[in-house]
Chain A
Amino acid sequence: MKFVFFHLMPYTVIDNTDRGWPVPNGPFDPRVASELYRSYVDTLAYADECGFDWIGCNEHHFSPYGLMSNPNIIAGALAYRTKRAKIAVIGNLVPLNNPVRIAEEYAMIDCMTGGRLVAGLMRGIPHEYIAYNIPPSESWERQREAVALIKKAWTEPEPFGWEGRHYRFRAVSIWPRPFQSPHPPLVVSATTIDSARFAAEVGATMGMVLLADYESAKEIIGIYRETAREHGWEPTPDNILIGMHCCIAETDDEALEALRSAQNYFQNVLMTPQRNAQRIVLQQTRYHRDEQNREHWEARLRKRAVQSLEEQIEAGVVLCGSPETVVKQIKRASAELGCGIFNLTMKVGNLPDAVVRKGMELFRDRVRPHVGDAVALAER
């Protein structure tokens, strides 16, 4: 079993985001941000010492939800601060960016870390298409074409050009090429039927975050497995990544209280502004190919938004409690979903960094030793 210490790098010194998305940046204080970056990078580097297998970061725009408009910069900052853990950039928003640039930056990180990059190739959440003025209706076409182009840029030994529908390059030959051969392992988000199929088609690990229940997750995982078989390969548990909020404290009550307050901030301050922009994109464009995919995507978030913390724990979609409780929760999720990678968001909302660090240490001392990979653990 593998564990990702995943971070959104939220800007937590703001109480009101009622004016929607993009969030006005007048109240933004760069001195606070400077301290936050320093502290967050320290925390991410600390995860390497706490037995996490991967350290994860990702891309978001125009809001305090996340301060990583380019997560590759954070990956660069982590390259020489970490020794063992893989750096999982999950991921660059592929249809929003220049695919050749993504191939280049990922290859740089892979070489700088001696082959420790996990390359996330994400489609992005709907409202972020507004940020870079990319038509959401072209999202799938761009994603498919760009991922093929990125793989080509990583693996082609001769200079080449690309004549596509969305991308045209006449001469590409990236320096450096990736450290890993043929290329870094891929993670693709799979929160709809279409995205699960796509992840399997390109041979990527599927990633699923903010689950509302196991039933819909199982359906998606089933589609992923089936499609992989159609394409001649068999996913292992290491190909299924499940993302969850995670709060570990000395006692269940302590963890509950801390996470409840943090999730409140996450839902009501950090998640709020984008809802309207998201609705506009989903209603006005073909970000999702059809109604079924759209409904799948929205139902999950809708259900998730009204779930109490107790209901999330009951549904097994959050890890919260004492170390012993969290071990049980991990084993339950793993047994039910067949997932081998847990993507843990321990900095939930405005949860104090001291609580996060304490949770990381409890994970290291009292969770990690009880959840698989005993041999690997002994080697560490």
Chain B
Amino acid sequence: MRQRVTLSTGELTYEVVGAGRPVVFLHPAGGIRWTPFHEGLAREFELYVPTMPGFDGTPVHESVRSMSGLASVVGEFIDRVVGRNCDVIGHSFGAWLAAWLAVLRPDRVEHLVLEAPAGFRPKGSPGLPREPEALRAALFAHPEKAPPSADPQRMLANHRILPHYGGGPRDTDDELVARLPEITAPTLILRGTADPLIPDESVQLLRSRLPHAYLIYVWDASHAIEVDQPERMLRVVESFLQRSDAFIVNWETAAVG
């Protein structure tokens, strides 16, 4: 159910599902796309999904003009609505935002998950496709798994908000890159092996600059890992959030009988 809260800079819409330790999911530039990954996560965690101001027809906050400014809005949302420390998952544009949040509010972020993070492309980027079919081809290795909310027209409309936060054409957020070593939260970085938008250099840069990070490649996934491989993504993210550093150990059995 969609809810609203009035923050110091304006109104914010959000949804909350499930019960358990709180997790905040920050959506990509196309807007939230609910998948079996989110449903699975909500079985173990209390999942908060705020809609960033200006996306999906919500009003922008006029005074918020940068990614760091937007991260402060999310910080206030956590203080006011979640009311506890939480884990934060961000996808693409949302991962860029999540990294800023972890820099600005280390007191609030327990674990950080960066899925196909935008904002770290030292060798430049091809930019987001502007044609609906090209966009679907870039986002999904398995477009047949995309939920109805992955409507290209809706996603393209949401992309038009990006310049408001300076989040459109920039390839690398140098200010954020300089501050990455300040992030203390254990961080999981995910990249789909077939992602045409986020190159290996992006995640390698993050892995080398973050003090406490893990990098996982998800096979046969494009940019939207949670659409292409929801089960795999849920398995690795849940394991990371529940076990923290020990998630690198195989806890399952390999016995055959």
Contacts and interface: CB of A to CB of B under 8 A. Distances in A.
Interface of A: 145, 148-149, 152, 156-165, 167, 170-171
A154 to B, nearest CB: 13
Interface in B201-219: 204, 207-208, 214-219
B248 interface: yes
B193 interface: yes
A170 B219 contact: no
Given A148-B193, A170-B247, A170-B248, A162 B219 contact: yes
B232 interface: yes
A160 B219 contact: no
A165 B250 CA distance: 16
Interface in B135-153: none
A165 B217 CA distance: 12
A98 to B, nearest CB: 13
B99 to A, nearest CB: 17
B243 to A, nearest CB: 10
A163 B248 CA distance: 12
Contacts of B214: 159, 161, 170-171
Contacts of B193: 148, 152
B207 A145 contact: no
Across the A-B interface, the 10 shortest Cβ-Cβ residue pairs: A164-B219, A161-B216, A170-B248, A158-B207, A160-B215, A171-B248, A163-B218, A163-B232, A163-B236, A158-B204
Interface of B: 193, 200, 204, 207-208, 214-220, 229, 232-233, 235-236, 247-250
A161 B220 CA distance: 14
Given A148-B193, A170-B248, A160 B216 contact: yes
A163 B215 contact: no
Given A158-B208, A161-B215, A170-B216, 5 more contacts: A148-B219, A156-B200, A160-B207, A160-B217, A163-B232
Nearest to B225: A163
Contact of B204 (A145, A157, A162, A163): A157
Which DSSP category, helix, strand, loop or mixed, fits chain A's interface? mixed
A163 to B, nearest CB: 5
A149 B219 CA distance: 9
A196 B202 CA distance: 33
Contacts of A158: 204, 207-208, 215
Contacts of A145: 219-220
A103 B217 CA distance: 17
Contacts of A163: 216-219, 229, 232-233, 235-236
Contacts of B229: 163
Contacts of A149: 219
A262 B233 CA distance: 55
A163 B37 CA distance: 15
A156 B204 contact: yes
B166 to A, nearest CB: 28
A161 B248 contact: yes
A162 B217 CA distance: 5
Nearest to B206: A158
Contacts of A157: 204, 208
Given A148-B193, A170-B247, A170-B248, A165 B207 contact: no
